[in-house]
Structure 1
Amino acid sequence: MKTIVTGVDGSRTAARAAQRAAELAAALGAELHVVCAYERLEVERLRQGSDELVRSTEDEAARTAVAAVRALQALYQALVLRPQAVEGKPGEVLVQVAEQCEADIIVVGNKRVQGVARVLGSIARDVARRARCDVYVVHTHER
């Protein structure tokens, strides 16, 4: 196994899944791509005097991915981590990135799993249905 992909969104459950992905990558000597999806590019410009601040959904997603990578790097110094921000729906983005980097496995959390009728959360279900590689669903809810 050489490449693993996982997604983050700033939530504690996504951080748990990313940590499990990092544990797996460290144990296998694999590279870990940490991806944050954003639905569509939106740009906001704020002016104050002669200063202009530009914020975008892409920048926010990139900051989320980088923050997750920094937290993981503190725990796994030798791990090769690649933060990415990609436009699209989370499940589709994870599959797309996995295909682009020829990932061996995608690691997702089971966030939003509720009730007896649902086996997987919507993102995990989308990834499992579309992925051409293995999918590891991490139990991320409080026990």
Structure 2
Amino acid sequence: MRENIVVVGVDNSDTAFRAAEAAAEIAIAFGARLHVVSAFEDDRTEVYGVGSDKWIESGATFAERVAKKVASDLTWPEGREEISYIAARGKPADAIIDEAERVQARLVVVGNRRMQGLGRILGSIANTVAHGADCDVYIVNTVGEGD
């Protein structure tokens, strides 16, 4: 049986945050948990440093930081279970679909960025998720809002 979980796919864009805000509103309205997913495709790492201070940044680290920031910036009622977040390996649409299946989500929320013009013909994350998810998908209209 599916749990009452809403999954939202995010990247580091304002439009993805608007989709996450809509997902949070839906989760709150239906008493669902919210699970924020940010994808990374490879294990490439970069080393940064200043003097003797060094740190390593990987795709997974960056994606987790993005998901955590989105989760922490959302408005969420006190006393409710915290929003969960994860960095998921794979192309964005595949990672979102796989994570939704893993947590047995009832709903996946994505923004409609790249669903216009040539993107509509060649495909988009929202289009791929809508056709590949084994649960309901809500595509948030994030286009034209200051973009």
8 Å CA contact retained: 1:43, 1:55 = yes
8 Å CA contact retained: 2:114, 2:120 = no
Listed one character per residue, the Cα deviations across residues 58-102 of structure 1 (whole Å, up to 9, x for unaligned) are 111111001100111xx2133531111011101001110010000
- Tell me the C-alpha RMSD between the 2 structures: 2.1
What is the aligned counterpart of 2:4 among 2, 5, 8? 2
Deviates more, 1:15-24 or 1:46-55: 46-55
Structure 2: where are the runs of 5+ without partners?
A: none
Report the Cα distance in structure 1 between the residues aligned to 2:119 and 2:83, rounded to whole angstroms: 36
TM-score (norm 2): 0.87
8 Å CA contact retained: 1:13, 1:111 = yes
TM-score (norm 1): 0.89
> How many pairs were matched up?
141
Describe the shift of the 1:15–1:53 C-alpha distance in structure 2 as closer, same or farther (beyond 3 A): same
Describe the shift of the 1:125–1:111 C-alpha distance in structure 2 as closer, same or farther (beyond 3 A): same
Alignment of 1:1-143 (within 5 A): 2-72=4-74, 75-77=75-77, 78=80, 80-115=82-117, 118=120, 122-142=124-144
Deviates more, 1:1-10 or 1:59-68: 1-10
Secondary structure at the aligned position of 1:92 is classed as helix
Structure 1: where are the runs of 5+ without partners?
A: none
Report the Cα distance in structure 2 between the residues aligned to 1:117 and 1:34, rounded to whole angstroms: 24
Give the C-alpha shift of residue 113 in structure 1: 2.1
